[in-house]
């Protein structure tokens, strides 16, 4: 199929992006949210990606957001692939691969050293086989039941009661808000996202916040379940105390489950695995394409806070 146009993604295409997003996911998304997600003033205040049209209908999109990554004391400007999608009626025609190649070319020309992402089962073939991304690690997921019981899970399925329960859980969690920042990972041999004040300001577009519980710091996003983007604990014992305290807070707020995702084999993976009642599941892979990075990208280490849904 020959599309009528392929356009470089910009402010002018936010409404079309929202139309395509709704066609793919059956969910509404506000242009202001899209703008906040795709622009980083500190790393080049512009959009990166391409959108394809059939006439006036947006049918496919591949985009990326700038991210500062670090290794030891060095930093590089990288990009993270986000929101790769094609309209259900236009899949299997090579559109996404074409848009991805164009995005890669623009990123490399603009001085980005690499692109990474978290492809799911639907996009693994495209990125790893067609676009020759490399596989780094897989994310490990964990969830813990808080003991709030079946009643809370039933309430979460009833819209009016669900909203009341969310307000209750938010009020409970907000009592523990801290101004502390989640530091960049302690493993100086790993390649990680640089967690500075600017990065935290950027990530606020999705409604997450940081709390302190049991002496540990948790970067969280509240909803039907509590999602922990990242956490910081000095020792295994400290983490045991912190997660126990978080479970108690969530139980009081009616939150039934706490979810984590971290890089398999990392220190945080081992901490989560050792906590009583941990239920593990496999998650996305970590993939990347190296343009000219000097970092050992096989040592990429991320948490759920680095995934664009957080």
Structure confidence by residue, pLDDT tens digits, 175-209: 888 887 766 666 678 999 998 888 988 998 888 99
pLDDT for residue 4 is more than 80: no
Global pTM reads: 0.88
- The per-residue pLDDT for 189 is 86
Please give the pLDDT value at position 114.
98
What single-letter DSSP state applies at residue 93? S
Amino acid 24: pLDDT: 96
111 Rama class: left (phi>0) / alpha (psi -120 to 50) / beta: left
Nearest alpha carbon to residue 302 among 273, 268, 258: 268
Mean of pLDDT over the chain: 89
* pLDDT tens profile 37-64: 999 888 877 999 999 999 999 999 999 9
In the prediction, which pLDDT does 17 show? 98
Question: Is the per-residue pLDDT at 21 higher than 60?
Answer: yes
Mean pLDDT in residue range 154-161: 53
CA distance 242 to 222: 17
Average pLDDT over residues 268-290: 93
Could you write out the DSSP letters of every residue in 106-127? Answer: HHHHTT--EEEE---TTTHIII
- Whether the pLDDT of residue 155 is over 60: the answer is no
pLDDT single digits (tens) 221-242 = 987 789 999 999 989 999 999 9
What local confidence, expressed as pLDDT, does residue 43 receive?
85
Q: pLDDT grade, residue 161 (50/70/90)?
A: very low
What pLDDT is attached to residue 188?
Answer: 72
pLDDT at 284: 92
pLDDT digits (tens, 9 = 90+) for 62-107: 999 999 999 999 999 999 999 999 999 999 899 999 999 999 999 9
pLDDT of 152 higher than 70: no
User: In the structure, what pLDDT confidence band is assigned to residue 250 with cuts at 50, 70 and 90?
Assistant: confident
pLDDT of residue 124: 86
Mean pLDDT of all residues in 19-26? 97
Bridge partners of residue 67, in order along the sequence: 78
> What is the rounded CA–CA span in Å between residue 202 and residue 66?
11
Report the candidate in 266, 187, 275, 278 with the shortest Cα–Cα distance to residue 237: 275
C-alpha distances (whole Å) from 249 to each of 20, 78, 100 are: 39, 37, 43
pLDDT at position 293 over 90: yes
Mean pLDDT score, 10-29: 97
The listed range with the strongest mean pLDDT (169-173, 220-224, 275-279) is 275-279
Helix count and strand count (H, E) for the chain: 9, 12
Domains of the chain: 5-112 (3.40.630.30), 140-284+295-306 (3.40.630)
Residue ranges of alpha helices (H) inside the chain are: 14-25, 31-38, 95-109, 124, 150-155, 159-174, 197-203, 236-253, 267-274
């Amino acid at each position: 199929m020959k599309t009528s146009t392929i356009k470089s993604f910009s402010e002018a295409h936010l409404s079309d992006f929202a139309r395509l997003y709704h066609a793919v996911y059956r969910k509404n998304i506000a242009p202001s949210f899209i703008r906040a997600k795709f622009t980083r003033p500190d790393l080049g205040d512009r959009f990166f990606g391409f959108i394809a049209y059939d006439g006036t209908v947006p049918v496919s999109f591949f985009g990326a957001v700038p991210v500062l990554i670090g290794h030891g004391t060095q930093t590089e400007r990288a990009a993270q692939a986000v929101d790769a999608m094609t309209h259900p009626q236009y899949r299997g025609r090579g559109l996404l691969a074409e848009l991805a190649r164009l995005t890669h070319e623009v990123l490399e020309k603009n001085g980005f050293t690499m692109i990474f992402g978290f492809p799911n089962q639907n996009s693994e073939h495209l990125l790893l086989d067609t676009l020759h991304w490399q596989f780094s690690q897989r994310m490990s997921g964990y969830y813990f039941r808080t003991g709030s019981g079946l009643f809370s899970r039933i309430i979460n399925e009833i819209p009016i009661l669900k909203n009341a329960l969310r307000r209750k859980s938010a009020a409970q969690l907000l009592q523990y808000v801290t101004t502390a920042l989640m530091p960049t990972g302690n493993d100086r041999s790993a390649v990680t996202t640089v967690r500075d004040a600017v990065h935290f300001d950027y990530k606020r577009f999705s409604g997450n916040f940081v709390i302190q519980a049991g002496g540990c710091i948790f970067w969280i996003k509240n909803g039907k379940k509590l999602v922990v983007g990242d956490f910081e604990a000095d020792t295994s014992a400290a983490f045991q105390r912190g997660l126990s305290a978080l479970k108690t807070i969530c139980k009081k707020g009616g939150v039934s489950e706490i979810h984590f995702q971290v890089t398999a084999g990392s220190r945080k993976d081992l901490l989560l695995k050792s906590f009583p009642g941990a239920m593990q599941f496999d998650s996305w892979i970590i993939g990347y394409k190296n343009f000219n990075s000097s970092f050992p990208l096989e040592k990429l280490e991320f948490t759920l806070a680095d995934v664009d849904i957080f």
